[in-house]
Amino acid sequence: MSARDVIVVGAGPAGVAAAILLVERGWSVTLLDKAAFPRPKICGEYLSPESARILDRLGALKAVDEAGGQPLRGMKIVAPDGTVIVGSYPTTGPWRSHRDYALAIPRERLDHILVERARSLPVDVRERHRVTELVREGREVTGVHAQDADGRALELRARLVIGADGRASAVAAALGLLRPHPLRRMALIQHVAGLHGFDERGEIFVDPPDYAILNPVAPGLVNLGLVVPLAHARPFAGRLETFFHARLRQMPRLASRLEGMKPVGSMQAMGPLAYRVKAPGAGGVMLVGDAAGFYDPFTGEGIFTALRSAELLAEVAHAALDRGTLGATALRPYVDARRECFRGKERLTRALQFVIARRRLANAAAHALLRRPALLDLLMGVLGDFVPPAALVRAALPGGRYRPG
């Protein structure tokens, strides 16, 4: 049995970021993942402009660029009535992002780069280690039970356990914290070739109750994501690929854009997308990234949320490890900081979900954005994670104004 300061469960963006930021501060960290990297991960593969700041801080941005990260200057949004809005990330005005563009890159590449970055530091990275349970003493979590690549059972002890093991988190499940969410949607994702003319922009097709996103993730390769009500997909369980292609044909504007498309690899499906996770009441444990909850990929901020939460977590974890007090109260400031940091964007995301689920409202919103390009700029900045949502709300209210520059 070995002891260290921190065990991080899950080596996706959240887990790697937490591990790197804590090792940098001098703590001993073991990073466990049940998979061997590179491994697939269902995702739209979009990274907001502000994600680049944190990738840079983790020392991974150069490798992402070298691995072919595709710049995205903005988004083209097609409303249900065919109105086309072309939004760009604002490059003038009071708020600037780390870069003027977002990135698109296959997750297999991104996550492998991040794990390699952790491995290049004194992080004890262990792939093919599945965490099965938590070790507890009273109300405190003191380690994990895991199974290694050869199926051997291990007990690993640490002062702090970080659950970064994504949706269906074993850590959150062991603590009884997972909750269903009333939003019941499913995503179907397929890499495709044969599509052209992206001009460094992703494309979103809103056609209630569905929406689809095209994201050019590598030269000649596009991530095509379709999100539908779960109830519509359920009768096609076992035939989801047939459902996927039929549904694409039912969205006329998208269908004409997809002419000549050729699937690459197999389709991936995930649903329900949204779920909630309660904050841990136990000491010695923290949750980060998807292990702490997920809503919907429309605004594409899951990876940014994972990375930014890891930054917030590292601040609180470092102070708690330093003081030697790792009870739930000592770790609570992380939960509060996370809530505060993402509250505005979460509200906006919920409002956008309401709009894009209603044809007339979605059309009216598109017409309003066409009339007010400054508002569109602000919306792009919020989606890019560098303009505070409150600035958009202020500008959108009657009499509200915003002039760039």
Ligand X SMILES: Cc1cc2nc3c(=O)[nH]c(=O)nc-3n(C[C@H](O)[C@H](O)[C@H](O)COP(=O)(O)OP(=O)(O)OC[C@H]3O[C@@H](n4cnc5c(N)ncnc54)[C@H](O)[C@@H]3O)c2cc1C
| Near ligand X by CB under 6 A: residue from 270, 319, 341, 361 | 270
Contact letters (x/-) for ligand X, 92-131, by CB under 6 A?
Answer: --------------------------------------xx
| Near ligand X by CB under 6 A: residue from 6, 7, 8, 9 | 9
| Near ligand X by CB under 6 A: residue from 5, 8, 12, 23 | 12
290 binds ligand X, rule: CB under 6 A: yes
d(CA 184, CA 180): 9
d(CA 273, CA 295): 7
Is residue 340 within a helix (H) or strand (E), and if so which, with residue range?
helix 328-356
| Near ligand X by CB under 6 A: residue from 106, 166, 216, 293 | 166
Least distance to ligand X, CB of residue 269, Å? 9
Among 218, 215, 217, residue whose Cα is nearest residue 202: 215
Query: Contact, 311 vs 54, CB < 8 A?
Result: yes
- Which of 46, 244 has the CB closer to ligand X? 46
Part in contact with ligand X (CB under 6 A); list of ranges 231-239, 294-302, 375-383, 389-397: 294-302
Helices 373-383 and 359-371, packing angle to 10 deg = 110
Q: In the chain, what is the straight-line distance between the N-terminal and C-terminal CA atoms, in Å?
A: 59
Max CA pair span of the chain: 65
Size of interface with ligand X, in residues (CB under 6 A): 39
- Which of 215, 363 has the CB closer to ligand X? 215
Which residues ranging from 41 to 80 are in contact with ligand X (CB under 6 A)?
Answer: 41-47
Backbone angles phi, psi at 148, to 5 degrees: -85, -175
- Which of 90, 289 has the CB closer to ligand X? 289
The residue behind tokens 């708020």 is: 95
CA distances from 297 to 42, 302, 322, 353 (A): 11, 7, 36, 10
Contact letters (x/-) for ligand X, 368-387, by CB under 6 A?
Answer: --------------------
Part in contact with ligand X (CB under 6 A); list of ranges 36-44, 55-63, 318-326, 375-383: 36-44
The residue behind tokens 């262990």 is: 126
d(CA 217, CA 109): 11
**Under the rule (CB under 6 A), what is the footprint of ligand X?**
9-15, 32-35, 41-47, 130-131, 164-166, 170, 187, 189, 225, 270, 273, 289-291, 297, 300-304, 306
